[in-house]
Structure 1
Amino acid sequence: MKTMALTGTGGAASIGFTRSIRDSGKKIRVVGTDANLINLPFSEADVNYIIPRANEPDYLEKLNGIIDAEGAEFIHAQPDPEVNFISKNRDKIKAKTLLPSHDAVEICQNKFKSYEAWSKAGIVLPKTIFINSEDDLKKAFTEIQTPFWIRAVKGAGGRGSFIVKEYEQAKVWIDHWKGWGNFVASELLPGRLLTWQSLWYEGELVCAQGRERLSWGLAQTAITGVTGMTGVARNVSIPELDEISEKAIHAAEKQKPHGIYGVDLKCNTDGVPCPTEINIGRFFTTIHFFTKAGLNMPSMLLDLAEGNVPSLPKKLNPIEGEFFWIRTVDAKPAFLTREQLRQTSKNDVDVDKILQPDSSVKYFSST
């Protein structure tokens, strides 16, 4: 492969993807597209194009025009709307794709459809109710312990999420978002935030790696403390996380798993990881973290796109040792061991205490 196309090229996830390709040593020309001109200065692709949004009528024509003009052999999308469009129209795209089934994309990009699939599979989950009407919201306050989450069934970055304790508060929030028929109420879980990034090829697991989110970036700017931007993360290896994540993927994907599946989980009061969503067809924003730790999944994706299946000595959690990934704005992420973080301060600090998971959330009461 000489040239590939990458959508959402100026966003953090695509930047991490591009850096991973550079780190791999592959001599691949990256053609970037983005619907937002303001994002393009941040792109690290070789050439960039402004493109319509995926819901605009000329998106396919413009995308294929860029693919033809640049000779792109493969396309990878990071924004969810483009993942969905390219998945649905994969036979019309003039470049190779490597995607899960479209049925699975539709399920995983809808938090309530995911919940229903997992529930049928007997997976332990936070109590969740679809909010189609005020009666449903009243039912949620009867059946779910307060405070609880309300959030949009579609969208990334915690879209529409709010933690509520009172009915009127929840109603005003859903009214504001015009969210009736598009929101869920869900039990607020107190435990660890875990993720499981995985690559599959024709039904076989190629590799998977666990990660723990220790804090949200810029948490002080969000009404709930949840921004969708990881602040501090570390790699983990937890057999129960592996088992539950695989089960969640197979429950949502009725065909052979193929491509990228990233499971988000939150632990309940018993410490059991409960799936909350699957980021399908795309990588987590922090994918360059794994690359720096020795597991280059974007590079492996390009191998798979050419039919070359990497053979790893260890498929589950192959990263050896413990590493941390620390992010903020206007700076490249820091990749450190625990000891290296300790050494950044001249005076003594309790690094172990600082690196404890921050599971705190905020909710607001009128009383």
Structure 2
Amino acid sequence: MPTRLLVTGAGSGPGNNLIRSLKTGAPSLVVAGCHSDRFVLKKSAAERNFLVHPATHRAFSRDLGRLLDRVRVDLVIPTTDADVWALSGVRGRLRDRVFLPPRSMIALCQDKYRLSRWLRSRGVAAPLTYAVPSLARVPGIFRRLGATPLWCRVRAGSGSVAAIPVRNPRQAQAWMAYWATMRGVPVRSFTLSEYLPGRDFGCQSLWARGRPVLTKAFERLSYIAAGGHPSGVSSVAALAKTAADPQVREVTTRAVRALGRNVAGLFSVDLKEDSAGTVCVTEINAGRFLAGTNLLDVSGKHNMAVTYVRLALGERVGFLEEPEQTREHYMVRDVDTLPGVFPAEEFFTGIEDART
């Protein structure tokens, strides 16, 4: 009997990208999808699709529980932080058909301020970060951090929401006041931290029984709709390339190991270089794949999405290492197009240069 999966967020970019990776690596998988928005769900790449309540609704777990029997689901795979949090609290109702870290570990990772303090206290490079209790305390935080610009962002969320570089207290206070007034985000939800100007990486790491099984990374080279973000960046790359930098993998491994003992599950880590070239952890998305997972799944020897399913279903998988000679790949993404993944040496095949 084929393995049956249920992917949340079906029809969204992250959901469809994950489904594409799964079917590319293991065509025999039967993939169903669910979403709380019927319009997004209509675009799903899954074979069967189900409308459910939002992850924040108390009926969400009931909906999924019914689908376990209706579709004979072997594994539920979340694609957003909200889905991860909701599923982590109803493992029993879902008969443990999820592959997630402990709920306390997820809570730690979903609070960027707590996470940075936790990692730094355990010797893992992360930007020095301060919580903002009130607008009046902002000048003091600037004095403690010293060099500017600083990075201002909220403690929770994804996609660089409310993130902006600021050069002085007045800019930071105005930004936080705007979000509090217009978007209902309390000032105490914000943090100020060191600004990291260097290269930007995404790294996915699969763990089982306290050991890393497979870790792969990419470097973000440009960003979708960057001009529409005050920060000029986002976590969604328009152009990215596979990265074999050993420092990225090493820091990722140390960061995940620092979260606790007997680590298991998926950890998607965002990292940036500081002014000295040290790779620092900026956040850890526990329990879900990065939106650009296709680049890591279809390149190299091992498909991360399929390996995740194997681990989740109890298969014993030893340490998997990508060969050093693995070809460099690039991923190109834009709004309203499917992501394209290309080997570096084929990147200009079929393109004629009319500039000369």
Q: Distance in 2 between matches of 1:179 and 1:321?
A: 46
Which residue does 1:96 correspond to in 2?
97
> How far 1:348 sits from its partner (Å)?
7.6
Which residue does 1:248 correspond to in 2?
255
SS of aligned partner of 1:30: strand
> How far 1:189 sits from its partner (Å)?
1.0
User: Which amino acid is 2:227 matched to?
Assistant: Q
> How far 1:35 sits from its partner (Å)?
1.7
Say which of 136, 150, 153 aligns to 1:151: 153
> How far 1:143 sits from its partner (Å)?
2.3
Which aligned segments of 4 or more residues in structure 1 are displaced greater than 4 angstroms? Answer: 316-319
User: Which amino acid is 1:171 matched to?
Assistant: Q
In 2, are the aligned partners of 1:75 and 1:95 still within 8 Å (CA)?
A: no
SS of aligned partner of 2:202: strand
User: Which amino acid is 2:225 matched to?
Assistant: L
Structure 1 runs not aligned, ≥5 long: 350-367
Map 1:6-17 onto structure 2 (within 5 A). Answer: 6-17=7-18
Q: Distance in 1 between matches of 2:348 and 2:187?
A: 48
Q: 1:25 to 1:248 in 2, by over 3 A?
A: closer
1:30 aligned onto 2:62: no
Which residue does 1:261 correspond to in 2?
267
Which residue does 1:130 correspond to in 2?
131
Q: Distance in 2 between matches of 1:336 and 1:85?
A: 36
SS of aligned partner of 2:40: helix
Say which of 231, 236, 241 aligns to 2:243: 236
Q: Distance in 2 between matches of 1:318 and 1:331?
A: 31
Q: 1:85 to 1:319 in 2, by over 3 A?
A: farther
CA deviations over 1:47-99 (Å, ceiling 9, x no partner): 11121112212221122122222221211101101101111221222451111
* Cα root mean square deviation, aligned: 1.9
Q: Distance in 1 between matches of 2:322 and 2:189?
A: 36
Which residue does 2:162 correspond to in 1?
160
Say which of 292, 299, 304 aligns to 2:298: 292
> How far 1:339 sits from its partner (Å)?
3.2
In 2, are the aligned partners of 1:262 and 1:284 still within 8 Å (CA)?
A: yes
Q: 1:210 to 1:69 in 2, by over 3 A?
A: same
SS of aligned partner of 1:53: coil
What is the aligned length? 347
CA deviations over 1:90-123 (Å, ceiling 9, x no partner): 1222451111121110111110111011111122
SS of aligned partner of 1:342: coil
Structure 2 runs not aligned, ≥5 long: 180-184
In 2, are the aligned partners of 1:216 and 1:230 still within 8 Å (CA)?
A: yes
SS of aligned partner of 2:64: helix
Q: 1:318 to 1:3 in 2, by over 3 A?
A: farther
Q: Distance in 2 between matches of 1:39 and 1:235?
A: 29
Q: Distance in 1 between matches of 2:266 and 2:142?
A: 36
> How far 1:306 sits from its partner (Å)?
1.9
> How far 1:139 sits from its partner (Å)?
1.8
Which residue does 2:213 correspond to in 1?
206
Q: Distance in 2 between matches of 1:238 and 1:308?
A: 29
Say which of 168, 175, 178 aligns to 1:176: 178
In 1, are the aligned partners of 2:25 and 2:298 still within 8 Å (CA)?
A: no
User: Which amino acid is 2:124 matched to?
Assistant: I
Which residue does 2:351 correspond to in 1?
345
Q: 1:342 to 1:4 in 2, by over 3 A?
A: closer
Give the TM-score of the pair, scaled to structure 2: 0.92
> How far 1:267 sits from its partner (Å)?
0.2
CA deviations over 1:282-302 (Å, ceiling 9, x no partner): 111111112221431111111
In 2, are the aligned partners of 1:245 and 1:275 still within 8 Å (CA)?
A: yes
Say which of 303, 321, 326 aligns to 1:315: 321
User: Which amino acid is 1:213 matched to?
Assistant: R
Q: Distance in 1 between matches of 2:325 and 2:135?
A: 48
> How far 1:149 sits from its partner (Å)?
1.4
Q: Distance in 1 between matches of 2:99 and 2:324?
A: 23
User: Which amino acid is 1:332 matched to?
Assistant: L
> How far 1:28 sits from its partner (Å)?
2.3
Q: Distance in 2 between matches of 1:5 and 1:296?
A: 18
Which residue does 1:226 correspond to in 2?
233
Q: Percent identity?
A: 26
User: Which amino acid is 2:173 matched to?
Assistant: K
Give the TM-score of the pair, scaled to structure 1: 0.89
SS of aligned partner of 1:42: coil
Q: Distance in 1 between matches of 2:243 and 2:230?
A: 29
